[in-house]
Amino acid sequence: MSYPDPPNQPSWGAPPPPGGGQYQPPPGPGYAPAPTAPQRSNRGWMIPVAAGLGVVMMAGTVWASNSVVQNVLVGAQPESVLPASSIAFAKLDLRPSGGQLADYAQFVQRLPDTMREEIDPEADPAEELVDSLIENSGYEGMTYEEDFAPWLGQRFGFAVWTPENEEAADSSGTAAAIAIAAEDEDAAEQALSEMQSQSEDVAFDVRDDFAIVTDKAAVLSDLDAQIASGGTLDEQDTYTRDMESIGTDNIASAWMDLGEIAALAQEGSGSEYGGFEEYGGLNQTDPLDSLQSYGEVSGRMALGLRIRPEYLELRGDTLDVSVDGVSTADYEVPEPGLQLMGDLPDDTMMAVSGSGLADLAGQAYQDNPEDFAEFEGLMTDLGLTMPDGLTSLLGKRTAVGITDLGGSLDQFFGGAASPPSMQFRAEGADSGAVESAIAEMWRNSYTSPPGVSTEGSVTVATSGTTGTGRLGDDPVFKQTMAGTETAHLGMYLDLRPFAESGGESAPEQWGALGASVTFDASTVSTLARWAPNGGG
């Protein structure tokens, strides 16, 4: 089976197009460039903070929505019946379009045999969730087949907002509701009425093809008031623009106002459990606790999970994020490009690559050199000075690939460690500085230092045995990393050797994992992707 490059994307041998990254959000109604934040110190951690906030908030939203489903319930889109004032929203869409169904079918055929054998194409994905709810919550005399299957649609939404009515607020100061597509409103009302008769924690309303479910009537009243005054979430320009930027054909998605949620986390820092504790449970840690260490936060995050014929992909964008007045607009964005990753040996198991890493670190160093005191000492030991020494070692573009872990993991199991085989490539680096640094690092080692050579403007350091072909020519690599050539950061992990070590009968079917990060003055876009290789 061949793996052609996707249309309208540069190949892994071509230079990046002018203008850089592939994730430029399309302008929409009310769109305006993000204002440049004032210069502040400590901007070196801005980009990882932006990405980290997104991960934290997505985890929080999924965690909270799952807990509400367990405690309460368990055409149109759910955001059409939830308020525009929502500060967090998550959605699961199990009713794909015809094109999505075709993509799903092709992807399933690419799954490893051992996984594909476990898939029941006739199974109702909502049945297991509802059966678990009925069993765990003790709704007597109710079954999925009789009480839920006749009406339960395949779209679910969960929203959190700050209510006007204090009686609607939980101890974190928020209110929350679930919207469930209802194909038969009468049947939905009958089933939910039966649940309500057996539990004090069920309040609901059925309208506009959805059942809106929460834990108390005050929340429903406040939801109606919020919509009457501000409209529904699908009418909110910022939300729709953010979600359009990540694509609308997702099986699951989430959106959140990071500033509002960070403020809630700060307000809840004095409580025993932090924010959203009512949606937790025994042995659950509030995912918002980690936000209490941040100062003033603004910006938004959008995330979508989608299935393509070739891979499963998670994309997350943080938009207009600022922490204590520092934003990505404070950076001079380097030219993107991960082409050096494709030039690593063809037997590379793990690889990381970046463009402009030295420039970004240099900007952070100029702002706050004391944060680099320890690293600066290391550079001095290598005979280099900050920040120019970073460029001497890393150049404009950098890639590192491990081709054989050797015995590097044996030490964790009581064995003797042997060094891995690897290759380092740096375009625009000073080969003499690289060679001198390696000699210094290996001065007291019993193993031979990596050999250093040059290929045009690229400095190459190789240790151990590596392949002679290019990683960029490997079909699985091309499939996994397709379209990421113009990112700023990239990661690749070949799962085949690990599956083989784990005793899988067909390790080649597990394919690889890939990730990339692209950013500009207002947006940090992250992709994570699994490209299995079964059915070939």
Give per-residue pLDDT as tens, 11-34: 565 444 433 333 333 333 333 334
Report yes or no on 161 lying in a domain: yes
For residue 1, the one-letter residue type is M
Residue 432 structural domain: 332-520
CA 77 → CA 157, 341, 449, distances in Å?
8, 41, 59
Report yes or no on 157 lying in a domain: yes
Domain match, 258 and 344 both: no
What pLDDT shows up at residue 111?
93
CA-CA distance, 191 to 188, in Å (whole number)? 5
Q: How many domains does the chain have?
A: 2
Report yes or no on 281 lying in a domain: no
Report yes or no on 61 lying in a domain: yes
- Please check whether residue 481 is in contact with residue 513, taking contact to mean a CB–CB distance below 8 angstroms: no
Spell out the per-residue pLDDT of the chain, length 536, in tens: 333 333 344 456 544 443 333 333 333 333 333 433 333 334 333 344 444 444 444 444 444 444 444 444 336 899 999 999 999 999 998 877 778 888 988 999 999 998 988 888 778 878 888 888 888 888 999 999 999 999 999 899 999 999 999 999 988 889 999 999 999 999 999 999 999 999 999 999 999 999 999 999 999 999 999 999 999 999 999 999 999 999 888 999 999 999 998 888 777 654 433 344 444 333 445 545 555 566 688 999 999 999 999 999 999 999 999 888 888 888 888 999 999 999 999 999 999 999 999 998 888 888 888 888 888 898 898 889 999 999 999 999 999 999 988 654 444 334 445 678 999 999 999 999 999 999 999 888 888 899 999 999 999 999 998 999 999 999 999 999 999 999 999 999 999 999 998 889 999 999 999 999 999 999 999 999 999 998 75
Report yes or no on 169 lying in a domain: yes
CA-CA distance, 207 to 241, in Å (whole number)? 26
Domain match, 340 and 457 both: yes
Report yes or no on 93 lying in a domain: yes
Nearest to 270 by CA among 285, 296, 289: 289
Decide: helix, strand or coil at residue 531: strand
Domain match, 133 and 233 both: yes
Phi and psi angles of residue 255, each rounded to the nearest 5 degrees, phi first: -145, 145
pLDDT tens digit string along 262-296? 888 777 654 433 344 444 333 445 545 555 566 68
Among residues 274, 307, 323, the one where a domain terminates is: 274
CA-CA distance, 370 to 504, in Å (whole number)? 49
pLDDT tens digit string along 504-531? 999 999 999 999 999 999 999 999 999 9
Domain match, 206 and 102 both: yes
Bridge pairing between strands 421-427 and 523-531: unpaired
Among residues 239, 274, 309, the one where a domain terminates is: 274
Alpha helix locations (H) across 247-367? 258-267, 339-342, 357-367
Report yes or no on 25 lying in a domain: no
Report yes or no on 37 lying in a domain: no
What pLDDT shows up at residue 339?
92
Domain match, 264 and 343 both: no
Domain match, 402 and 474 both: yes
Residues 6 or more apart whose CB falls under 8 angstroms from that of 417 comprise 406, 407, 408, 409, 410, 411
